[in-house]
Structure 1
Amino acid sequence: MCGRIAFFDEPQVVADQLGYPLARATFPPASYNIAPGGPIVAIAATDGEPEVIPLQWMFKPRWAPEDAPRTHVARAERLAASRFWKGAFARHRCLIPVNGWYEWRHDGDAKLPFYFHGASQRLLLLAGVFTTLADGELGCAVVTQPAQGLAKDIHSRMPVVVGAGAEDWLNPEIHDRETLKQRLRPVPIASLAIQPVSQAVNSTAADSADLILPISPPEA
């Protein structure tokens, strides 16, 4: 799925590496353990050309009824069909730069955390959609797909990590699902590294570089 995010690069690094302007805004501090509902960095075209901006990692359109769910993930299979998602999918797509993300494998009563990151330690871009929340702020969700390769041993779903087609994903002029499906190419699962990490990350209060350090693999 995508339980937590690690993003500890400076937003300016994203702007410099990817060639998007940096918005004049207050950005969240670097964090090794961003929980749903927290502030994150994203690339989105909110008023003109795409730029690097801060967003809330939570999605519930302001028009949604009170009993509608608040969520931080969006199933790729439902984006174009569900009323909850299809407006954002058509006009408000974004990219979420991360250094990595965490997912948990359930082993009895234990929750064993794993850290997913680029095998070459490069910045990863997760596909996302954004909306205006009830308070007028912008919030987003990470788009997920069925887990691939070794990721299936940990969780049934994983984020869509964008390789080719990032510019098309950000382009609101392209809103046909089949066109996007043809142009958007997730990075191969072999280009990702997965490592078990300390259960200290289970606490949302924990936030240090030690959280992403590998530990001895837990027994299957």
Structure 2
Amino acid sequence: MCGRARCTLRPEDVPRASHRHGVSTRFLHLDRYRPSYNVAPGSYIPVLRRDSEVVGDGGVTVECMKWGLVPSFTKKTDKPDFFKMFNARSESVDEKPSFRRLLPKNRCLVAVDGFYEWKKEGSKKQPYYIHFKDGRPLVFAALFDSWHNSGGETLYTFTILTTCSSSSLKWLHDRMPVILGDKDSVDTWLDDPTTQKLKPLLTPYENSDLVWYPVTSAIGKLSFDGPECIQQIPLKSSQNSLISKFFSTAEKLDKETKSAYVKEEPTVEEVDEEKDRSNEAKNLGFQKIVNAEPVLEDNSAVASSHLESVKSEVVQGNANGEGKSTKETGESNDIIPTETETQGHGFTTIEELKQLEHQQEAVEDKPGNENQKTCQTKKEGDLEFSKNSSGKSGTKRDYEVFSAEKPLKQGKKQGKGNKANKIKKSNETQSTLHFFFDGK
């Protein structure tokens, strides 16, 4: 579980972090220690343990040990594997022979700045850096042992105890190191001769001062070291989740909007009701139109009787010598009622008819009028003449001459002789016209 850590503390900071400042302290093998942001099993870390050889009560020793327990019963010729037991489960620590024999006298403390844990996200893993909010060191409960190799060298190694994850870190991993957060827990773990009081200490750390944030995945390489290891990075997965959340929300809103405009299919009864309402509306509209139209009566009989009465009055007036206001034309002997007598009867007098006729003749006399009448074409020899007449007597007749020769095409360039030919043709046309009028 806890396979990477940051340990940049000074050796003298370890007793202070373990609440052992002011007591006799011995430092061993400090030349092996290398502060690092990326400490892995097999590296040397300062470890605080009890030491009976130290003069004074409660004396301790800070010794550099390798992370990754190598039991003392390991064969001298075996190659040590530091990754095999770099963690020990606190629930079974008093059961396994490798750890059970270490509980009475080989308890120790490991102080670090923080540790790393990986969160599984599909096929990938995202590392997080976990530390105290105020920056103080974390103190882990640990066990140590010594092993003698074939060369006669004594090697001190340790393992960090783990427990189930706290409620705030369950989302990240199911295990976490045993953190001793106060002086009482540290004193009990180091000084208590019995193991009965140790079980309550091996519990998850639930205080809220433990914080974390994501870091680069390059921390997985043992060669990667430096302040870049603990630099916080933005999570791509969270950005993708925000984007996907945005689009899912937009899609949901789009569906809700569409559903608001989609009408349900009407039933048969609703269709019949709608038809009845439309027919009723049409009938009401038709009745309104009929009521609004005025009643038209047949007044043809009244008009004819009124006309007969007017004629009889005019004849009677002429018989009695009252026809002074009437006028007679030179072309007809019919008697027409005067304007004063026909007012209100809708008749037109002879004077008005003549005025209309003169106006019509004036319009017809205008050249280019569309009302001009074209007379039939007369033939004189090989020439055709078309007579245009306005229909008015006494007006001069105009004649149009159609020549048998083809006219020149438009756009064709004329040569030097074309000008003479043009003059000649115009003279011939004039002579033909003179001949025609002379003949007439």
TM-score w.r.t. length of structure 2: 0.46
Q: What's the CA shift for 1:97?
A: 0.1
Q: Which residue of 1 aligns with 2:141?
A: 127
Aligned letter for 2:103?
F
Tell whether 2:49 aligns with 1:44.
yes
The one of 86, 95, 98 equivalent to 2:109 is 95
The yes-or-no answer on 1:104 pairing with 2:114 is: no
**Partner Cα separation in structure 2 for residue 13 and residue 79 of structure 1:** 28
Q: Which of the numbers 185, 194, 209 marks the counterpart of 1:191?
A: 209
Taking a change above 3 Å as real, the CA distance of residues 106 and 216 of structure 1, as seen in their structure-2 partners, is: same
Distance of 1:166 and 1:184 partners within structure 2: 12
Deviation at 1:213, TM superposition (A): 1.5
Distance 1:184 1:108 in 2: 31
Give the structure with the higher percent strand: 1
Name the structure 1 match of 2:187. 167
**1:169 touches 1:184 (CA, 8 Å); kept in 2?**
no
Partner of 1:2: 2
Q: Where does residue 13 of structure 2 map in the other structure?
A: 13
Per-residue CA deviations over 1:79-116 (Å, capped at 9, x if unaligned) read 11211111112210111000000111122222211111
CA shift digits 1:128-162 (9 cap, x unpaired): 00011343211000000011123211211000010
Mark the CA change 1:67 to 1:10 in structure 2 (over 3 Å): closer, same or farther. closer
Of the three residues 151, 158, 177, the one matched with 1:140 is 158
Question: Aligned with 1:149: secondary structure?
Answer: coil
SS of residue matched to 1:139: strand
Distance 1:67 1:40 in 2: 21
Partner of 1:219: 237
Distance in 1, Cα, partners of 2:175 & 2:169:
8
Higher share of residues assigned helix: 2
Correspondence 1:148-163 to 2 at 5 A: 148-163=166-181
Instruction: Summarize the Cα distance change of 1:185–1:153 in structure 2 as closer, same or farther, 3 Å threshold.
Output: closer
Query: Residues 157, 182 of structure 1: CA spacing in aligned structure 2 closer, same or farther, 3 A cutoff?
Result: closer
Residue ranges of structure 2 left out of the alignment (5+ in a row): 54-58, 239-440
